[in-house]
Amino acid sequence: MFDHNNSSLAEIGTLIRDAKSVVIISHVRPDGDAVGTQIALGASLQELGKEIILINEDGCPSNLKFLTGSDKVLLPPESHIDADLCIALDTANNERLGGRCIEAVKLVKPVINIDHHITNEGYGDFVYVDPDSPATAQIIYELISNEGFPFPTASRDGLFVGISTDTGSFRYPATTARTYEVGADLLRMGADCGALSSAIYESYPYRRIELLKKLLGNLKMTVDDQVASWCLDLQTKEELSIKPEDSENLSDLIRGIDSVRVAVFFEELKDCSVRVSMRSKDVNLADVSKICSHFGGGGHPLASGARVHGKLHEVEEKVLNKICNTIT
């Protein structure tokens, strides 16, 4: 677990100014915070006169393609990237950047690691991690603002989306007074809260509803209805042509059940492993970052995940037993 920084935003600003070309990367299965910060920082640095390359192991998910600049978030090239600086955003450990992404940037030095996950491992040559920030987008806002970098439309909207999605539309406990101040400033710059929120939360493909129907069909309540969980198998994903972004934040629905303290989503993957996504309502009862770290994962005390090798229902049983032993 990461416990200190070795650099400041001012030092990172100097490194950026000294670079002519910058490659910006983020984690596999990118969410609004990952893609939003990539786009935001990239657009700002491009206006600063830098050559910018944005890559992600999975590219830009379809639900975020409404963002200006989303077309610049590309899949990793097969050849090695030649750049003066690499910035990794919103990614707690190097492995989660993805194999192709890591290979593409392996010759780029130095590497700057900017993140807000308390479980960040401190990889990279320069590290700035703020676990008190509810989103990496809030950190990037401070970087751009403090260093006087340009703030184009793509940066403004990307940061608003990053903050909104990682705070559950400014609802989660990690949201601070500063988060609202940053959001207000982005609105003063012209961010359209209604239009952006509608694009994020009210523009889903029908297959997401079909997926929800399937998941509700196998909803499991355990530990005196304090734990809610459901599973997504490969067959269902293939039948419904499910994309990774289709299941984004669906677990919030079962987390909202009044008796539930922990919600868990199990997703079968093609590499004989299971993606586990865990949400908690009560950090004192269940710190899910600690539970997930037991399975090689991590994240935040109230929202974490892991990838566990094994068959779907075997992993489900192991993880639910661990949760049960934690909260009883």
Given this model, what pLDDT does residue 2 score?
52
110, 130, 182, 114: which is closest to 151 by C-alpha? 182
Look up the pTM and report it: 0.91
Beta-bridge partners for 268: 274
In this predicted model, what pLDDT tens digit does every residue of 249-301 receive, in sequence order?
899 999 999 999 999 999 999 999 999 999 999 999 999 999 999 999 988 89
Task: Please compute Rg for the chain using Cα positions.
Answer: 19
Given this model, what pLDDT does residue 3 score?
58
- In this structure, the strands spanning 220-222 and 227-232 are antiparallel
250, 255, 232: which is closest to 316 by C-alpha? 232
Task: Give 3-state DSSP helix, strand, coil % of the chain, rounded to 5.
Answer: 40, 20, 40
| Contacts of 87 by beta carbon, 8 Å cutoff, 6+ apart | 16, 22, 23, 24, 25, 41, 111, 112, 114
In this predicted model, what pLDDT tens digit does every residue of 129-153 receive, in sequence order?
999 999 999 999 999 999 999 999 9
Given this model, what pLDDT does residue 4 score?
63
| Owner of token pair 């950090």 | 283
| Contacts of 51 by beta carbon, 8 Å cutoff, 6+ apart | 20, 21, 22, 83
Given this model, what pLDDT does residue 182 score?
98
Domains of the chain: 9-201 (3.90.1640.10), 207-327 (3.10.310.30)
pLDDT of 68 above 90: yes
In this predicted model, what pLDDT tens digit does every residue of 14-49 receive, in sequence order?
999 999 999 999 999 999 999 999 999 999 999 999
Element (H, E) at 74: strand 73-74
140, 122, 143, 125: which is closest to 35 by C-alpha? 140
4, 16, 6: which is closest to 147 by C-alpha? 16
168, 19, 26, 187: which is closest to 93 by C-alpha? 26
Given this model, what pLDDT does residue 233 score?
97
Phi, psi of 306 (to 5 degrees): -160, 160
Q: What is the mean pLDDT of residues 200-207?
A: 95
Neighbours of 212 (CB within 10 A): 16
Element (H, E) at 24: strand 21-26
Given this model, what pLDDT does residue 6 score?
82
Q: What is the mean pLDDT of the chain?
A: 96
Given this model, what pLDDT does residue 328 score?
81
pLDDT of 65 above 90: yes
Say how many Å lie between the first and final Cα of the chain, rounded.
26
Contact 77, 55 (CB under 8 A): yes
Residue 1 pLDDT grade (very low, low, confident, very high; cuts 50, 70, 90): low
